[in-house]
Structure 1
Amino acid sequence: MDVEELADLSRVLIDRLVTTEAPPGVLEEVAGLVRQATALLEQHVPDGPRNLYERFGDTDDYLDLFRLNPVIGKLNPVAPRFEIEVSRDGPGWNGTEVTARTNLGLLYEGPMGMVHGGIIASLFDQFLSIANIDNGFGAFTGTLTVRYRNPCPLGVDLRFQCRTDRVQGRKVFAVGELYAAETLVAEGEGVFIQPSSERLAAIVADSEAAQGPPGRQR
C-alpha cells in the first residue's frame, strides 16, 4: 500500500459519503473508523511548515509534479483522476498541446446531472497553466474566461485540449476546449502574467514568512 492507493480508496469513500442513505448507526460506525484512521496518520505528520510543493523533483510528468494539487493531484482525494498527454505537433505555441482526459461523477455535480461550472473553470485554469509551463512560461493567472457552449453531463468521458496561443511581453495567452465525447461543451481563454524575478522572490519570501516559525501545523 502506498499513498496513491490510499488516495484512490479515499476517493471511493468520499463518493460513498455524498451518495449514502445509511442509517445513523452505520454513520456512527463509519465515523469511528474515520477517527481511528485519522489518529493513525496523525502520528506521522511532520513537524514544521508544510506546503503542497515540498519535496518536488525534476519530472516531465505533470500528474507527478502536481501530485498534491487540489484540482488534479493524484494524491489529493478531492481531485478527480486524470490522464494527461502532451503532443508536439498540435496547433499551439511550438506545436505543443496538452490533452487531459477524465470522467466526473456525482461528487462534481452542479445543475442536476451536469458538472458544476466552477469545476470546469478551475480545470481550465490548471490545464491552460500546464500548457504554458510546458512552453517555459511560468505565469500567474491574470484573467480567465470560460464560455459554456453546452451542458457538461456527469459520467461521460471528458477531454480538455489546451495550448499556449501567443506571448506579448510578460503576458501569456492560452486557449482551450472541453469536449464531452465529441460534443464541445466549453471554451477557455486565459491571460497569464509572468512575474519579474524580483517579484517572484518577494512572493516566495512572503509565503515563507506567513507560515511562521517551525512547529506542528494544524
Structure 2
Amino acid sequence: MSGRFADRAQAGERLAEVVLGRGAWEGTTVLALPRGGVPVAAPVARALQAPLDVLVVRKLGLPGHEELALGAIGPGGARALNDDLIRRLGISPEVLRAVETREEAELQRREARYRAGRSPLNLSGRTALLVDDGLATGATMRAAILAARHLGAAGVVVAVPVGAPDTVEELQQLADDVICVLTPEHLTAVGLYYRDFSQTSDEAVEAALAAAAGPGA
C-alpha cells in the first residue's frame, strides 16, 4: 500500500514537516491523545520547540464491539455523542451510562498517572495543537476539541498523519484548522497505514512526557 508509515514516530516526523510549513506556532501547546498519539506528537513538539502534554479522551465503545464509537468523553465534562448511531442501534440511556461510567474511571486513572503530580492542564490564551495517530470516525477528536476549548484554548488545530476525508471535513467545522498528511478515499482502519501499529504502553507515554519536560523542552 502506498503512503504507509513505518511507525508512529516516523509518521510524527512527516506530520511535523507539514505542520511547520503552515506558518508560525508561537504560543502553542502540543497535546497528544494517549496513548497512540504520544509517539506521533513528540517529533511535532520538538520541531515546533513547543511544550508537549497529553489530553486524555476516552472513546465510548459499543459493548461487545468496542471499536464502534458511540461517542467520547474528555476532561472537564467534555462529551461528544454519535446521536445518529445511538438512535439507529437503539442504545438505551442505561447502557450508555454504564459505558460512560467505566470510561470515566479509566480517564481518571490515566490522568492521574500521566500528570504524575504536574499541574492541571492550562490552555488559557494558547493554541492547542491536538495530535493523534489517525482519524476514522473522529468521535474521540471531537471530544478533545470540546475539552480544549473548555480549558480556555484561544485556538484549536487538529494534526494527524492519516484521516478519512469526510471526518476531516466534519472536524474543520469544529476546529480552527485540520492538518492531515494522508486522506485516503476509503479508510477502513487507521492501522492499515502503519507497518508497525503495535500498542503504545503507559510506560512509553510517561517516558515521552519526561523527555519533553527535560532541558530545552
TM-score where L is the length of structure 2: 0.25
Larger RCO, structure (CA 8 Å, separation 6 or more) = 2
Larger Rg: 1
More strand by share: 1
